[in-house]
């Protein structure tokens, strides 16, 4: 069956998701409209396509045992010079994200993998563009702030065109679906026919 490239992330809901996506595009990041605005939980991971049912079951199990938590973004940070990334900081909810990603990448599980760098939850707003443009992103969003209740995450697949598309949402506990709010102008969710969470988080940086 071949392989697929998957990622798991928390979508940044509206109106924040589209705002940050448009700003990212305005800074000159060509990837902005192919990546939903997000906080990464599992970075791009290539797996055998036949393992998708096992992965879906694992994600559902983790989500069912997890509870909602507040996510708050404020100000900017950067991974430069180590990595050409400017991001909006997660100032509340980082503990929840860290616990969640650890469960998703649990040793022996279908998404077990080592990370190139220690896990650091963030929302990328510029990646791999000129230093001047990254400086602009850093300064423009220095006073940025957003807050919402995180009640789930989603599984995404990267297509041959480089665009990340939502495969399925995983709301926490036994709550109703919809814990991953949609972003405007996003790729179509092939599973539901609805718009997936915007094009920017995911699962790339």
Q: Which has the closest alpha carbon to 154: 48, 35, 51, 72?
A: 35
Would you say 203 and 40 are in contact if contact means Cβ atoms under 8 Å apart? yes
| Residue 187 banded pLDDT, cuts 50, 70, 90 | very low
Q: What is the Cα gyration radius of the chain?
A: 16
Is 159's pLDDT higher than 90?
yes
| Least confidently predicted of 31-45, 127-141, 143-157, 172-186 | 172-186
**DSSP 8-state assignment for residue 128:** S
Mean pLDDT of 10-21: 97
* 70 Rama class: left (phi>0) / alpha (psi -120 to 50) / beta: beta
Distance CA 32, CA 127 (A): 9
On average, the pLDDT of the chain sits at 87
Would you say 156 and 36 are in contact if contact means Cβ atoms under 8 Å apart? yes
At 79-95, the pLDDT tens digits run 999 999 999 999 999 99
């Amino acid at each position: 069956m071949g392989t697929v490239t998957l990622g798991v992330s928390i979508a940044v809901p509206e109106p924040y998701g589209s705002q940050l996506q448009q700003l990212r595009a305005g800074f000159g990041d060509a990837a902005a409209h192919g990546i939903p605005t997000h906080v990464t939980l599992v970075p791009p991971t290539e797996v055998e396509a036949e393992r998708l049912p096992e992965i879906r079951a694992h994600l559902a199990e983790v989500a069912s045992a997890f509870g909602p938590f507040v996510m708050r973004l404020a100000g900017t940070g950067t991974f430069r010079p180590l990595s050409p990334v400017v991001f909006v900081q997660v100032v509340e909810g980082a503990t929840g994200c860290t616990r969640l990603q650890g469960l998703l990448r649990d040793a022996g599980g279908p998404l077990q993998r080592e990370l190139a760098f220690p896990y650091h939850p963030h929302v990328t707003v510029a990646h791999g563009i000129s230093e001047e443009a990254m400086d602009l992103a850093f300064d423009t969003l220095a006073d940025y702030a957003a807050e919402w209740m995180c009640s789930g995450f989603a599984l995404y697949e990267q297509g041959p065109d480089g665009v990340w598309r939502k495969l399925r949402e995983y709301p926490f506990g036994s709550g109703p679906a919809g814990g991953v709010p949609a972003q405007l102008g996003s790729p179509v969710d092939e599973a539901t026919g609805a718009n997936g969470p915007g094009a920017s988080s995911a699962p790339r940086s």
